Amino acid sequence: ETGVTQTPRHLVMGMTNKKSLKCEQHLGHNAMYWYKQSAKKPLELMFVYSLEERVENNSVPSRFSPECPNSSHLFLHLHTLQPEDSALYLCASSQDLPGRVGTYEQYFGPGTRLTVT
C-alpha cells in the first residue's frame, strides 16, 4: 500500500541462528532506514542509508548488520541475537537531499515481527 514491502512478516529464531530481513521500496527514493519498535518504548532509529551509503549507525550492536546493495533494497542481517532484540522491525524510505533540512516524509513498510527464543 505504501510502496515499501518487507519480508518476512513474522520471524522466530533462536539465539544461535542467522537470518536476514528484507525491505524493498518501489517509490524511486534515495534514502532507506531501519527502525526498531519495542513495546513501551519510542521508535528507535537504527541505520540510515542515503544514496546507498550508510550515513548513520545509531549505536546498534554488531549482531545487527545492514546491507544496501542498491537504492531499492535494504537488508538487515541478524546473528546471535538476544531475547531483548524481540521487536517489530520497520523499514522506511524517503527522497532525501543531503545538506538540506528535511521536509521529506518517510514511507514505512508493514514491519517484521521478530521473536528471539
Partner 1 sequence: AQSVTQLDSHVSVSEGTPVLLRCNYSSSYSPSLFWYVQHPNKGLQLLLKYTSAATLVKGINGFEAEFKKSETSFHLTKPSAHMSDAAEYFCVVSGMFSGGYNKLIFGAGTRLAVHP
Site string for partner 1, 6-25 (x = CB under 8 A): x-------------------
Cβ 26 to partner 1 shortest distance, Å:
15
Listed residue (37, 38, 40) closest to 92, CA to CA: 37
56 contacts partner 1 (rule: CB under 8 A): yes
114 contacts partner 1 (rule: CB under 8 A): no
Cell numbers linked to 117 = 527464543
C-alpha torsion 56→60→62→63, nearest 10: -130
| Beta-sheet pairing, 112-116 with 10-13 | parallel
Cβ 60 to partner 1 shortest distance, Å:
15
111 contacts partner 1 (rule: CB under 8 A): yes
Site string for partner 1, 76-95 (x = CB under 8 A): --------------x-x-x-
- Give CA separation, 25 vs 12, 22, 28, 34, in Å: 24, 10, 7, 13
* Cα-based angle 97, 102, 106 (whole degrees, multiple of 5): 90
State the residues that interact with partner 1 by CB under 8 A. Answer: 2, 4, 6, 31, 42-43, 45, 48, 50, 55-56, 90, 92, 94, 96-111, 113
